[in-house]
Amino acid sequence: MNLMQNKNLILWIEALFAVLSVWVLLMVEAYPDHSMFLLRLYVLVLICITIVLVGVVRYFQGQHSAVDIDRICEMVRQVETPAFIWSDDLSTLYTNEAMDELLGIDEREDPGDTAVLLGNFFHSIGISPHDAAEELSEDIYESAIECRNGARRTISWTTSLLKKTPQASLYFSIGFETTELEDAKFKLMKKAEDLTRSQRRYQLSMKLSGIGILLCESTKPVYYASDEAQQFLGIDTDHITFAEFRKKLHPDDRFLFDEYLENIRSTRPNSLSSRPRFLQLRISSGADKHYVWYSYHYHENLLNQSGKPIIGGALIDITTEKNKDAMIEKLAFMDEITEIANRNKLMHDGEETYRLCQTMGTYCWVIVIDIDRFHIINDSYGYENGDKILKNVAHVLCKYTASGGFAARVSADNFVLVLHDYTVNGDDEMPVRTLEHIRADLTSMSAGDFSSINLTCSAGFARIPSDGHSFHEVLEHAEFALAMGRGELSYIMGYDANMHEEIVHQGEMEKQLFYAIEQHHLQLYYQPKVDLKTKKIMGAEALIRWIKPDGTMISPNVFIPIAEKTGMISDISQFVLREAVQQTALWQQMGLSPIVMSINFASGDFYQANVCEVVQSVLVRHGLQPQYLELELTERLALGDINYTVQQMNALRDMGILLAMDDFGTGYSSLSYIQLLPLTLLKLDRSFIIEIETDRVAQEICSAVIKIAKSMDIETIAEGVEYEGQSEILKNMGCDYIQGYLYGKPMTASAFQKRLEINTYGREL
Ligand code: C2E
Ligand code: MG
Ligand code: MG
């Protein structure tokens, strides 16, 4: 407004100047004599006016350019947003309509003093009028203004210097309404705060509930992991590949996980299940392999934006529940001595393993392990040490389950090892290789606490799923393979379907044996028994042979078990008893040194109620004194029914017949049981004798058995002596007799007779 007033003043001066020029011209016309004076007066007036004008113009130019200000004023007028031109001495103010509205200036009213107006305005936006120029021109200045109607408006001011003079500077300020922007910003901030708050709440509840979240798309092999899940897994990123995740699982749970992956890979959008599923997995968060049990409850009824199935769920620590389960399981499924799985657990987990192998197309080995001669170790070193050894064996076996599998103890010294075979086609060498390692471990184990025990084991194995239709069947086949070794030491055999053919073959044998008995193709051979002190034959063992018409000889090891199974054994035994007694009596009648004739008794014979009568009648018929007849029983046979055995044996002993325990050390008896039996002789099994020169355990066992037998008045004989060295050791141990190839193989009656003749007539053997 001041600016316009100044401009009008100049116009007035210019009009005055024109009127004055016209008046001078008229006066010169009217008074030509005074024209000179008039002209001089006119020039003088002109000069004065010019001086005044120049002064006025100078004055205004000192503050602004009249042309610029005009243009800017015009611009300001047209701008719709509040704008004003002002001087920092608060003397000048030009506003547009929007600014007037902001300042509350009504067109009809006098705006009042410029300095007051500007001063109030600057105060209202929080600036001191003196610092207004400095504050506003520095940067965009944001102000919150309360309008007359009470509404709050946010306006950002931009200010630029138009003109600077020594007296004052002229500024142009324009304001941009940012009220809506601010509102939006405020709302956004509030939303962000809400979000952060709810996120914090979510994180806190996740933390408190101890739930981790794992999500994946069925097509991508990567899990997204929540903070909690990251903590469970021991990772510091929000994703983990399936391969990395699998590595963190307990080896026994990887199969389950593989099965789960197989399932989710085949998940299609139209085959999503609404049922939640769950997996129980052991996960290790670090390299220390400390596993924690988690339950993963997952859903697959989710789709992402592009319609692909998302599989996700909650990972929950279930260690406490598992510990409770473990306690219950321990009672029902754990072997007390070794603290590994018992038979129940083996069958349960075995069936599960079988199912998984079938689903996944993978393999497992079932290895049945038997500790060789364990009962002897038990007898010699006591049950406490026996238990200690079993624990150590279990410990050794568990070592081999680390990369997948489990171990179980199923009976006294019988263990089962189930091993996962991760190779594509199955690693056929795996069982034998593992067993060799186990044997080496057993050797070094006995070298520690039990230095005098040479622990060995035998094993049979079969493969899941190819060697049976169920775990039960595979296990049976592995046991079957072990049984094929018939007590042989350090025996390892894999199951082979042909083994059954062998059984079929036995059926064929049965028929042939029946025929052989009828046709008298069975014949007795005699093997000398020698007194270690005199080196003279003191007895013979009658050993049966099946000689076919074509001359082939079949071992009793082959046909006696068949005869026992079919009942033909009683015919065979009667034949042996008759033949052996008759032959012994005959040799005595011939004047040869009397010998003790041993015959092998089978369980069928022994458990016959009239066994004493039968033996008695044969002795009487052939005129042989009972002290020349010795019956050999095996441990298994003798201990079938211990009370009956004792009763029956006492009856035979009362008759004066000698009783020997055959194959001592291979059966199931213990020395404490043997004490109950009225034995006259213990026959140390050939398996000890084979090793007696090299194996300290065999030596110690033989020595201990001989000593104990002596203390019970039982004589001892060693079977299978083939070398002088063995004979020497046995003699030094105090063994009474020996039997073996060293002094003669089983031979025909005529061959034996010759040996007996030499024996009788004083020549040393
Ligand atoms: P056994 O009663 O322990 O007989 C000893 C076996 O060891 C015999 O085998 C004998 O030939 C063998 N043997 C003896 N000394 C040596 C040696 O130095 N080296 C080697 N390698 N072997 C030696 P055989 O005759 O084949 O008899 C095997 C088994 O068959 C017998 O073991 C016995 O259990 C059974 N058996 C034999 N004859 C009869 C019988 O008449 N009735 C019954 N029920 N079983 C019999
Ligand atoms: Mg025998
Ligand atoms: Mg024997």
Domain 333-497 identical in fold to domain 506-761? no
Res 3: pLDDT = 46
* Contact 557 CB / ligand 1 (< 6 Å): yes
* Contact 597 CB / ligand 1 (< 6 Å): no
pLDDT above 50 (res 65) = no
> Could you please report the per-residue DSSP string of 238-271?
SEEEHHHHHHTB-GGGHHHHHHHHHHHHT--GGG
What are the tens digits of pLDDT across the range 423-438?
888 899 999 999 999 9
From ligand 1's centre to the CA of 390, what distance in Å?
32
Residue where the block lists tokens 């084991």: 457
Query: Predicted confidence band at 153 (pLDDT cuts at 50, 70, 90)?
Result: confident
Please state the rounded mean pLDDT for residues 704-733. Answer: 94
What are the tens digits of pLDDT across the range 606-619?
767 788 999 999 99
Using a CB cutoff of 5 Å, list residues around ligand 3, an ion: 662-663, 719
Res 373: pLDDT = 75
pLDDT above 70 (res 420) = yes
* Contact 727 CB / ligand 1 (< 6 Å): no
User: Burial of 532 by CB count in 10 Å (0-12 exposed, 13-18 middle, 19+ buried)?
Assistant: buried
* Contact 474 CB / ligand 1 (< 6 Å): no
| Protein residue whose Cα sits closest to atom 42 of ligand 1 | 600
> Could you please report the per-residue DSSP string of 315-342?
EEE-HHHHHHHHHHHHHHHB-TTT-SB-
List the one residue out of 413, 397, 414 whose CA is nearest residue 405: 397
Ligand at shortest distance from the CA of 598? 2
* Contact 543 CB / ligand 1 (< 6 Å): yes
pLDDT above 90 (res 6) = no
Query: Predicted confidence band at 216 (pLDDT cuts at 50, 70, 90)?
Result: confident
* Contact 577 CB / ligand 1 (< 6 Å): no
Q: Does the structural domain 79-177 have CATH classification 2.40.50.100?
A: no
Test site for ligand 1: of 489, 521, 543, most ligand atoms within 8 A of the Cβ? 543
Ligand at shortest distance from the CA of 683? 3
Ligand at shortest distance from the CA of 560? 1
Lowest mean pLDDT among 289-298, 443-452, 576-585: 443-452
**Residues 333-497, CATH architecture:** 2-Layer Sandwich (3.30)
* Contact 665 CB / ligand 1 (< 6 Å): no
Res 324: pLDDT = 82
Contact 638, 669 (CB under 8 A): yes
Q: Does the structural domain 199-321 have CATH classification 3.30.450.20?
A: yes
Other CB atoms within 10 A of residue 103 CB: 20
CATH of domain 506-761: 3.20.20.450
pLDDT above 80 (res 683) = yes
* Contact 719 CB / ligand 1 (< 6 Å): yes
List the one residue out of 374, 366, 466 whose CA is nearest residue 417: 366
> Could you please report the per-residue DSSP string of 299-317?
EEEEE-TTS-EEEEEEEEE
Report the relative pairing of strands 169-177 and 152-164 from DSSP bridges.
antiparallel
Test site for ligand 1: of 572, 600, 662, 693, most ligand atoms within 8 A of the Cβ? 600
| Protein residue whose Cα sits closest to atom 20 of ligand 1 | 720
> Could you please report the per-residue DSSP string of 459-526?
EEEEEETTT-SSHHHHHHHHHHHHHTTTT-TT-EEE--THHHHHHHHHHHHHHHHHHHHHTT-EEEEE
Q: What is the mean pLDDT of the chain?
A: 85
Other CB atoms within 10 A of residue 583 CB: 20
Ligand at shortest distance from the CA of 568? 1
What are the tens digits of pLDDT across the range 250-291?
988 888 888 888 877 776 666 666 667 788 899 998 877 889
What's the farthest any 2 CA atoms get from each other in the chain?
Answer: 210
Res 565: pLDDT = 74
* Contact 740 CB / ligand 1 (< 6 Å): yes
Please state the rounded mean pLDDT for residues 338-356. Answer: 93
From ligand 2's centre to the CA of 737, what distance in Å?
14
Residue 458, Cα to own-chain centre: how many angstroms?
29
* Contact 663 CB / ligand 1 (< 6 Å): yes
User: Of residues 764 and 49, which shows the higher confidence score?
Assistant: 49
Distance between CA atoms of residues 216 and 313, nearest Å: 9
Among the ranges 40-44, 412-416, 664-668, which has the highest mean pLDDT value? 412-416
* Domain range list for the chain: 3-70, 79-177, 199-321, 333-497, 506-761
